[in-house]
Structure 1
């Protein structure tokens, strides 16, 4: 079932906790303006459903449904989350295959030591300790087929946002009124 139009952009941002996914997504929306929908795994899984991340969980379908709905409504979509390849890969592959417009996927790679340092600066750090973070961490959990562009920890927020805007063509498209 096709989704979106040839003009809609689908941007997938994946990576471990504290890799900068949410910051990049928020900065993309701020830079682009109206007409760009943020579909956040944490919001749908933890806030809407209050669900644990596990294979076959309901949030996988909800993420897919929300992204498809926004694309069909003419929004560009930034889908962001840890989105483990073994749990979310099939859904992401179907969404990518069904999307009529350009789809770009990025994996924000941050080494373990930097992940831990960044995590310590987050509000959730008092709830989630180092051992839990270690359990979540997966080194280069890439989707099959080489569909993702890996962006390293040396890329600043501004550099990453500039790159995604340029790669996707969002930098040349108008925001909604």
Structure 2
């Protein structure tokens, strides 16, 4: 059983990559999206103490109990809010956790965001922006030159080695 964490700014490609991984890995994979959990299910703000943290942790435990081979957790997951939770996950999962960070320039993420339905304005995206929000134990980092195929292939290879 493996846990893959996909982190980065809005519009960086995390959700697209997670959905491609879900298709590639099949029905033994559970996809947990921070946006869905925090904004849709809980309608909770994104700050220290958000109820999204214990719910994400509970869903990961549930996924383990259901014996999913791979659990994908994707979202901005900024270090200032989710850092302790992610450190706890790393401690628990150790080498079975693959952490990926999407590090793209603001302009690239803004332009990508504008192609989405319900796109956010520049000021909103800028208020969320986290430059170099690295945890220090990332296994993979992707920039704007990494294609979706490359990202999926590199994560898939990392899964076989973990």
5+ long unaligned stretches in structure 2: none
1:68-99 deviation line (CA, Å, top 9, x unaligned): 21023211100000000011011111112112
Partner of 1:166: 157
Secondary structure of 1:45's partner?
helix
5+ long unaligned stretches in structure 1: 1-7, 171-177
Q: 1:101 to 1:148 in 2, by over 3 A?
A: closer
Q: In the aligned structure 2, how far is the partner of 1:166 from the partner of 1:134?
A: 34
| Larger gyration radius, structure 1 or structure 2 | 1
Q: 1:69 to 1:100 in 2, by over 3 A?
A: farther
Structure 1 length normalisation: TM-score? Answer: 0.86
Partner of 2:40: 47
The residue correspondences of 1:1-177 to structure 2 (distance < 5 A) are 8-75=1-68, 76-99=70-93, 102-125=96-119, 128-143=120-135, 145-169=136-160
Q: In the aligned structure 2, how far is the partner of 1:160 from the partner of 1:21?
A: 10
Q: In the aligned structure 1, how far is the partner of 2:139 from the partner of 2:86?
A: 12
Q: In the aligned structure 2, how far is the partner of 1:41 from the partner of 1:135?
A: 18
1:48-77 deviation line (CA, Å, top 9, x unaligned): 101121111100111111012102321110
Q: In the aligned structure 2, how far is the partner of 1:158 from the partner of 1:100?
A: 26
Distance apart, 1:149 and its partner CA: 2.2
Runs of 4+ residues over 6 Å off in structure 1: none
